[in-house]
Amino acid sequence: MANKILMPKLSPTMEEGQISRWIKAEGDAIEANETIAEVDTDKATMEMTSLEAGTLLKIIVPGGENAKLGQTIGIIGEKGEDFSALLDEASSNGSASSQQSAAESQSANGSQTSESQKPKAESLSENVSETAGRSYDEQRPDAAEVAKNGEDSQSKIQNPKSKIQRLIVSPIAARMAAENGVDLKSLKGSGPNGRIIKRDIEAAMESGVESRESGVETAPEFSASQVQGASAFREENTSKMRQIIAQRLAESIGPIPTFYLTIEIEMDKALEFRKQINASVKEEEKVSVNDVIVKVAAMASLKHPFVNSSYRDDKIRFYEDADIGVAVAIDEGLITPVVRGANRKGIIEISREIKEMAGRAREKKLQPEEYTGATFSISNLGMFGIKEFTAIINPPEAAIFAIGAAKPTAVVENGEIVVRNVMSVTMSCDHRVIDGATGAKFLQTFKQMLENPVLMLM
């Protein structure tokens, strides 16, 4: 008997998921508890397993599309079974795709979906950052003319008047091409609708395709008559991670009464402290300035309980340990792996955990419990040369650090001008929990510990 495959709840905060890719294709046999698809939740890519054995009769929500919890995304049953009733039901609930009408006429006779309707293996093999966003170039007049003339819809669309080519390129592929000097116009995309994707750039780099810098190609010259009308554009499906980031930041900046405190900290002793640690460990265990900051922030927050707390309507929840969230930039946005009980761990152990989790975060392999439930967060842009900025609180946390770069600065010390490495730190505070004086005292403790790391032992 055919059954619907429903979008499951794969993380605590998940309200809908985005199909990263279907591992199984229509017509494939499936065992119970076998992985059939990968789903992007708010911060990670999770495996979705089948609850029963059978044949994947129909994929309703294709790769790259979103589905709400409990929405029908596919149908499983016995090979050759009539599942038209389930398709009708899915369509009436608004969960069927726009291409389903053709499939319904075939399934009413119990026939299998033709090979031409199966999802392409190439599109299935890409992760969420490479799944096909829709290009709207095909809506432009020149593209319509191409379609009318029956030309290959997957080739690059060219305006014969201006000789300008428009390419469909994924964001990651565009960035990789720019960084490595790969000429996109020399490539043929292997993604959906001829889209140039990550693996095309990697293949070009491996085969030694001539770069724009090394070639003799010159920049095209445009006259006023060549550039006409609005600029060409492309649109990408918003990833599930980016949707959640937008949602949570809007939740944060609206209802949370936030104020900001900035302090400057002399980092010379902290840098010397880090140097001493690295001199005594192996290369792979060397620690960063941020690892030291995580440890100091954990120790300081326990001395000021309101900083290590969260507002819960009619209650304030105080945490016994400092679980520090460390912001990590990935292709799709931002994720904050959590160092549990950072106050109880050494700096080398903290460093090891951050490296390991950051690596898995970039591969979207973190589990929900590894990036949720922090009591305090740190966002560090110092490595990019940013001197000072503000960060948005991640609810329900009460505060977040924005760490700038430590730069040589002239300061007055005992009536003399000396050069010190000075770092700017801005704390965003939830005023429902942290008052100005509370935040200021916490920053004083944090400053004292960084300027004299031995105080962490007291």
Instruction: Quickly list DSSP for 223-249.
Output: -TTT--SSPP----PPPHHHHHHHHHH
CA 299 to chain centre: 30
**Does the pLDDT of residue 120 top 90, yes or no?**
no
CATH number of the domain located at residue range(s) 3-125 in this protein:
2.40.50.100
Task: Quote the pLDDT of residue 72.
Answer: 92
- Burial class of residue 207, CB neighbours in 10 A (0-12, 13-18, 19+): exposed
Average pLDDT (223-228) is 46
Element (H, E) at 407: strand 399-413
| Bridge pairing between strands 376-380 and 399-413 | parallel
- Return the closest-CA partner of residue 292 out of 259, 266, 321, 270: 270
Residues in the chain: 458
CA dihedral 239, 242, 244, 248 (to 10 degrees): -170
Average pLDDT (64-85) is 89
Domain boundaries, the chain: 3-125, 132-207, 240-457
Cβ 398 vs Cβ 306: under 8 Å: yes
Please state, in angstroms and rounded to a whole number, the distance separating the CA atoms of residues 46 and 10. Answer: 7
Q: Decide yes or no: CATH 3.40.50.2300 for domain 240-457.
A: no
User: Binning pLDDT at 50, 70 and 90, where does residue 121 land?
Assistant: very low
Question: For the chain, what is the total number of helices (H) and then of strands (E)?
Answer: 11, 20
Query: Which positions ≥6 away from 306 have C-beta within 8 Å?
Result: 316, 318, 398, 433, 434, 435, 438
3-state helix, strand, coil split of the chain in percent (to 5) is 35, 25, 40
Q: What is the pLDDT of residues 131-173, one digit of tens each?
A: 333 232 333 333 333 333 443 433 333 333 333 344 666 656 7
- Return the closest-CA partner of residue 20 out of 113, 135, 94, 128: 128
User: Binning pLDDT at 50, 70 and 90, where does residue 87 land?
Assistant: confident
**Does the pLDDT of residue 111 top 80, yes or no?**
no
Q: What is the pLDDT of residues 329-366, one digit of tens each?
A: 887 778 899 999 999 999 999 999 999 999 998 888 88
Q: What is the pLDDT of residues 226-254, one digit of tens each?
A: 444 455 555 566 666 667 766 766 666 67
Q: What is the pLDDT of residues 298-320, one digit of tens each?
A: 999 999 999 999 988 778 899 99
70-84, 118-132, 331-345, 357-371: lowest mean pLDDT where?
118-132
Please, which residues bridge with residue 259 across strands?
429
Cis preceding linkage at 220, omega within 30 = no
Cβ 274 vs Cβ 455: under 8 Å: no
**Does the pLDDT of residue 189 top 60, yes or no?**
yes
Instruction: For domain 132-207, give the fold.
Output: Dihydrolipoamide Transferase (4.10.320)
Query: Which positions ≥6 away from 133 have C-beta within 8 Å?
Result: 64, 170, 234, 235, 236, 237
pTM of this prediction exceeds 0.85? no
Catalytic residue IDs:
431
Cβ 164 vs Cβ 158: under 8 Å: yes
Instruction: Please give the share of the chain, as a percent, with pLDDT higher than 90.
Output: 42
**Does the pLDDT of residue 97 top 70, yes or no?**
no
Give the residue carrying structure tokens 């191409």: 146
**Does the pLDDT of residue 279 top 90, yes or no?**
yes
